[in-house]
Amino acid sequence: MSNVLSVRIPKSLHNQVRELAEEEGISINQFVMLALAEKAAALQAMNYLEERAKRGSREKLLAVLAKAPDVAPEEYDRL
């Protein structure tokens, strides 16, 4: 099932989207759909992380970090 969404955008943005879609080898519709999906996923991820952060605490973090061994990092992990 396909829904139709009409959106008015400036000509300059339309041209930019058309060029980018051509570079990707996809239609403008596919490009816009992917852009909307990426934005929706990013917003959902941000909301999820904000909710998870509310359940955390500094004390719990420090308790977990206290369990980590106190050893020097491997050579490839050094800055």
**What is the model's pLDDT at position 45?**
98
Q: Do 21 and 30 touch, CB atoms closer than 8 A?
A: yes
pLDDT averaged per 10 residues in sequence order, the chain, 79 residues: 88 98 97 97 97 93 93 92
pLDDT for the residue 43? 98
Please give the Cα distance from 34 to 6 (Å, whole number).
16
* Nearest-angstrom CA–CA distance, 21 and 35: 11
Q: How many domains does the chain have?
A: 1
What is the model's pLDDT at position 2? 78
Q: Is residue 41 part of a domain?
A: yes
Q: Domain span at residue 18?
A: 11-67
The pLDDT of residue 1 is: 61
Q: Is 75 contained in some domain?
A: no
37 located within any domain: yes
